[in-house]
Structure 1
Amino acid sequence: MMAVIHKLKNQITAGSGMLIVIGFLSGLLGNEQMEEAFLITATVIASIPIFSKAYQALRIKAFSIELLVSIAVIGAMFIQEYTESAVVTFLFLFGDLLESRTLEKTRSSLKELVDMAPQEAVVIQDGQQRTIPVEEVEVGDRIIIRSGGKVPVDGRILSGKALLNESAVTGESVPRSKTVHEKVFSGTMVDNGYIEMMAEKVGDDTTFAKMIELVEEAQESKTKTEKYLDRFSGIYTPAVVLLSLIVFALTRDLHLAITFLVVACPGALVIGAPVSNVAGIGNGAKNGVLVKGGEVMERFAKVDTFVFDKTGTLTKGNPEVTDIKIFAQIDAEELLRLAARAEMISEHHLGQTIVKGAKARKININGEVKNGEVVKGHGIRADVEDHTLVVGNRKLMELENMSISKEALEYAVTREKAGNTVIFAAIDGKLAGLISIADQIREDALNALTEIRKNGVKKIVMLTGDNPHSAKLVAKQLGIDEYHAELLPEDKVEYVKKLKTAGHVVAMAGDGINDAPAIATADIGLAMGESGTDISMETADVVLMADQLMQLSHAYSLSKATIRNMKQNTFAALSIVFVLLMGVLFNTVHLASGMLIHEASVLLVILNAMRLMKFNPKNETVEPGLQVA
């Protein structure tokens, strides 16, 4: 029954409005009895959905706005104020209708995401191409995507090349060129080209499906302000009923008491904070920023200290081998071959850079690695062919009691001061050579850091496992307040704890893998880009889907704007209620006008929140990348 009434609410609103118009016309023609009859009928019809919701609230022992309006309407009918009762019920329903339509717009970003979800996939089965529903795609399926087609699941390109529009996932509208072995994500679109891919994640495991799930959960979650306002309205609403009774007891004016009851409805107060939260999170999702709920948004807005990892966060995370210096009877290519063979067991970005450098030189690095051991934060030990290799940083050489000549140390320092990370490679207990690796600072790093400072961040810190010389160079070029080098993952965690103990509200940005413990320790953990997508989706508070630091700046600005908007709505709601109550007590606001202003105030806070949907801090031109480690 309740569901039927809800479905017919639009028709009920339109019907009651027409009856009121007919009633007023009858009055103008001098037929007062017909006027009353139409107004009473309009009141009864419009009261059905209001009374039903009030009854539902009473069943769960809750004081709702509908209950207050129901009491007011019954009172108005009792004192034969049929015009007031009809107008109040119609305005309440009409206002509710406008609120629903406007609220739908604040959720439009989520709807757009859902609409972007692919429905079909072209798979190769038994040598034949078949179009199947995306739900039937299985891990390992070979899928074809042509120009204009959507990538149905997550996976890797097996053959072909294409320009992909990844805006649905990353918020970045500029298409990216992708080819063999590169990752592609569900929901992205092939603008131009042709690719065949292997399905690696399907169904609810795809990045796009997780995005939609996270945004849905985030928009339903509540900030501390919302929770407080919920508790407040639970006390406020029955208090309004009590105050109305006191007004009646003191004045013996039932009309005044009923008007007091209507204008004191906390509609705008209750809806103001949630709608800001929904609009803010929706804006983030549209721009490739996933904020995991209202509490995260509220906490993020209070951040005064940002901590950054260096490699892959402030730098591009695409380092290259720039130099190989030999200190033994071995040539550079052979040293790189052995080091790359050993590094095959490592997932560290520097180890993978050595592997990539060997492959780029077309060096064969296939073969067995024995007794491989990753020394966390330092490097690796491994037996390759008939040699024992130790490859890592200077501290690993010290742990292994490896002798390093003065010449090698001086060369290492020179390379580090030039912005390189130096990897020491020892063979059979003796230093064989130094491998220099360099990266570039992200083009948008300087602008992003400048923007977050403008928005209230007092301190920016960089924590890195890299050498002090490279760290100093990056810190100087980006204007970072403080940096700490040669840190292990646990050292980063301790430093974040130290900042929190000192009273700072800390946000930690990293790649979501090596920095996962520090990200989890910070008040706000941020992870960015494809490298940390799997982990960051689960652990970080804010996920930046694109490899862009300006997204971080946008996310921080958005959190500030959302909480500011929430406060504006709360202040406006309280101010309007206060003014209306004063108007009632001084007899300048009446029942119908009070309801009209009340509904207008609800729309006002919704429209104010909708401004967040178009929030976009201006992007400035960026500097060219700078080479660093």
Structure 2
Amino acid sequence: MNNNGHFNFKRALRFEISLVVLFLATFALYIGDVLPAEFEGQILGIVGFVGIVPVARSAYRSLREKKLNVDLLATIALFFSFISAEWSSMLFINIMLALARVLDLYTKRRVRTSLESLIKLKPSKARIMRGGKTLEIPLTDVRKGDLVVINLGDQIPVDGIVSEGTASVNQASLTGESVPVLRGIGSIVLSATVVVSGNIVVRAERIGAETTFERMINLIEASHDTKTRMRTSAESFSSWYIGIMLLVAIILYIVTKDTRLVLAVVLVVCADDIAIAVPLAYIVAIGTAARRGIIIKSADFLELAGKINTLVVDKTGTLTLGKLAVETASAFEGATIKQVIELSGTICARSNHPVSKAIVEYAKNAGCSCAPPESFKEVEGRGITSTSDKNEEIIIGRPEFLNERGIKFSGEVAKVVSEWVAKGSNVTIVAIDDKVIGIFALADEMRVGVASAMKTLKQTGVKEVVMLTGDNDGVAKKIADYLGIDKYYSKLLPEHKVYVLKDYLGKHDRLVAMVGDGVNDAAVLARADVGIAMGGIGSDVAIESADIVLMQDNFEKILDLRGISKNVSSIVQGNFVIWGVVNAIGLYLVFTHTIGPSGAAAYNFLTDFIPIANSLRLFRYK
């Protein structure tokens, strides 16, 4: 929060507290009959005017927007008490209203403090290397490409790449996970994380507002200003409710001519507690989620997350680690295993596809230098083609990719392919011209905790889990059976995943969440009712494409998300029940003449604490 914003808040709080003191002092002087008799009316009139100004201004702004808010009822109550010289009621109403505003500011400040505790994690200075010297400069003076020196215990001030040293880094400020991760030369490190052992030098890649941490904070702040469907409905209901209560008050006055009774009724039915408690619950919940490494772009998505009944999940990088490893390699047509590995490692060196990376790593471990080829063409998600020095066409890819190019498999090749597919392995084939010379069998490791999380999701309202994958049917079936997934789609290209998702969207009984890594499935995430990107730490695409970002590579965080969502919905619904019961009791006390206007104001203020305290319980969510 900027200094100006902080000053404005403190000024508002001081102003409201000074009003409380003024009203209390005047009330005490009036009750004690200390005010000079000749000036009593003028003094009370001035104090009453001071009290009515802020609520009347708020009511006027609301009317200009063609809405009714609780300050309209408060303005009417103050006006009637003023013209009827109900001075004690007027003063007590002003005291209660000012205290309510202080309470509102306090609760908002507490939420803001929670966010500021995150903002304070960002250091204000950085040590950089320039001209052979280490200089400490303001963080705002750091530029891209600067070499930033980070020692044990330091917070990392920029997003960058480690150029020297090794360190263990605590990323809890971003992921909610306190277990340190090892970072060495070439590793990416992020701002606001802490070096807990070792010393490193980092080349700055992102600074200021571009860093992952700053973008996360901006998303959280923006989400505070969004409205959920429930919050919008609550405001709409409140507007209608206030209109009805005004009509009731008018009728009651016409029938009874009892100003005190009308005042008491108006004060009891003020819905100021709901007006504060409903948005507060969502703001607190979003902050609670952020502390757990769950970034929610809008309170609407938080509300929907607990109601999801269909979960569509991309396999690679979500259910599995997304790091394929070669299990074995086979050679055919007189080629040797070494030749197949060296050729494939060289061709795949220019590709970023997980299969290519696994083959290159396997080749390097076998001693291949893997120099990138000059001739290279990649068909996304399917395979690679290249041309050798002898003008031979080299093809590496899925079995169907080679089939489309007219390459037929011998009986021996077909048998090996079938065996590995049946075992649930990914199969990649290597061919020169029209002859298959090699086969790689690859596997991906399952993420820890996915199986138990799937079971819990099924027990808590998710009726169907659907898996999308580009892998073969054998791989898909093996994982689906192990995890208890209801349905799977295999051999999908990225664009095909959108069409599969469309089949589930728009159906009256479906509320669909899509979970992916936010990279290869960005288009699918954007189309789902709720798009959840997992492992969004440092990923631009994940942060941009998803509605909710799980900063940590942990599928179990979805359970946290649903728990917070269900909790906030339960609390909001509970607040409406509390509000209804409190109003009913208050009206009973008014109509039985147990309390008058002053008592009604006190009753309204004291019962305001109940739904607000209920909303603040989300701070203690476990």
TM over 0.5: yes
Counting only pairs closer than 5 Å after superposition, residues 445-524 of structure 1 correspond to structure 2 as: 445-502=450-507, 503-524=509-530
Match of 1:364 in 2: 369
Q: Which residue of 2 aligns with 1:326?
A: 331
- Pick from 13, 21, 24 the counterpart of residue 14 of structure 1: 21
In structure 2, relative to structure 1, the CA distance for the partners of 1:8 and 1:415 (3 Å cut) is same
Measured after TM superposition, the shift of residue 511 of structure 1 is: 1.1
Once the two structures are TM-superposed, the CA of residue 591 in structure 1 deviates from its matched residue by 1.7
Deviation at 1:85, TM superposition (A): 1.8
CA shift at 1:336, angstroms?
Answer: 2.2
- Counterpart of 2:5 in structure 1 is none
Distance in 1 (alpha carbons) for counterparts of 2:183 and 2:37: 72
Partner of 2:3: none
Query: How far 1:33 moved relative to its partner?
Result: 6.0
2:515 aligns to what SS in structure 1? strand
Q: How much does 1:208 deviate?
A: 0.6
Shift of 1:55: 2.4
Residue of structure 1 aligned with 2:223, choices 205, 209, 218: 218
Match of 1:154 in 2: 159
Letter of the structure 2 residue corresponding to residue 378 of structure 1: R
Q: Is the 1:342–1:369 Cα contact (8 Å) retained in structure 2?
A: no
1:544 paired residue number? 550
Return the offset for 1:581: 2.8
Contact 2:347-2:372 within 8 A present in 1 as well: no
Q: Are the structure 2 counterparts of residues 312 and 60 from structure 1 closer, same or farther at C-alpha, using a change threshold of 3 Å? A: closer
Pairing 1:374–2:378 present: yes
Task: Compute the displacement of 1:385 (Å).
Answer: 4.3
Instruction: Work out which of the residue numbers 52, 55, 58 in structure 1 matches 2:54.
Output: 52
CA deviation map 1:35-73 (0-9, x unaligned) = 998898578547625423422541563544334223322
With the length of structure 2 as denominator, give the TM-score of the two structures: 0.92
1:61 has 2:60 as partner: no
Task: Confirm or deny that 1:604 pairs with 2:610.
Answer: yes
Residue 197 of structure 2 is matched in structure 1 by 192
How far did 1:248 drift? 0.7
Paired residue type of 1:377: G
For the 8 Å contact 1:39–1:83, the answer to whether it is kept is no
> How far apart, CA to CA, are the structure 1 residues paired with 2:71 and 2:552?
45
Whole-Å separation in 2 of the counterparts to 1:448 and 1:381: 40
Structure 1 residue 443: deviation in Å? Answer: 0.8
User: 1:5 and 1:305 mapped to 2: Cα distance?
Assistant: 46
Aligned in 2, Cα 1:457/1:59: closer, same or farther, shift over 3 Å? Answer: closer
Could you say which residue in structure 2 is the equivalent of 1:525?
Answer: 531
2:197 and 2:210 map into 1 onto residues whose CA distance is 26
Post-superposition CA distance 1:280-311 (Å, at most 9, x none): 11111110001111211222222101111111
Q: 1:36 to 1:473 in 2, by over 3 A?
A: farther
CA distance in 1 between partners of 2:336 and 2:244 (Å) = 86
1:389–1:240 CA distance, 2 compared to 1 (3 A): same
Give the match for residue 383 of structure 1: 387
Q: Give 3-state SS (helix, strand or coil) of 2:345's partner.
A: helix
1:302 is aligned to 2:319: no
Once the two structures are superposed, what CA deviation does each residue of 1:198-243 show, in whole Å capped at 9, x if it has no partner? 1111121111111001001111100012112223333433443332
SS in 2 for 1:124: strand
Q: Count residues in correspondence.
A: 609
SS in 1 for 2:63: coil
- Greater alpha carbon shift after TM alignment, 454-463 vs 405-414: 405-414
Distance 1:39 1:307 in 2: 70
- Would the aligned equivalents of 1:289 and 1:544 in 2 still touch at CA under 8 Å? yes
Contact 2:58/2:71 (<8 A) preserved: no
Deviation, 1:188, is 0.7
The answer on whether the counterparts of 2:536 and 2:542 sit within 8 Å (CA) in structure 1 is: no
CA distance in 2, matches of 1:91, 1:415: 75
1-structure distance, mates of 2:577, 2:49: 31
- How far does residue 90 in structure 1 lie from its aligned partner after superposition? 0.9
Q: Paired residue for 1:165?
A: 170
In structure 1, the partner of 2:348 is: 343
| C-alpha RMSD of the superposition | 2.5
**Matching residue's letter, 2:387:** D
Contact 1:99–1:606 (8 Å) recurs in 2: no
Partner secondary structure for residue 356 of structure 1: helix
1:422 aligned to which of 412, 421, 427: 427
Gaps of 5+ in 2: 1-7
Distance of 2:402 and 2:164 partners within structure 1: 42
In 2, the alpha carbon distance for the partners of 1:123 and 1:315 equals 39
Partner deviation per Cα, 1:352-379 (whole Å, 9 max, x = no partner): 2222333344421124331x22223311
What 5-or-longer segments of structure 1 have no aligned partner? 617-629
Give the TM-score of the pair, scaled to structure 1. 0.91
Provide, for residues 168-223 of structure 1, a one-character-per-residue CA deviation record: whole Å limited to 9, x for no partner: 11111111111121111111111111111111111211111110010011111000
| Deviating more after overlay: 531-540 vs 481-490 | 531-540
1:120 to 1:356, Cα distance in 2 relative to 1, 3 A = farther
Residue 19 (structure 1) shift = 4.0
C-alpha distance in 2, partners of 1:305/1:552?
A: 13
Q: Which moved more, 1:42-51 or 1:475-484?
A: 42-51
User: Match for 1:323: what amino acid?
Assistant: T
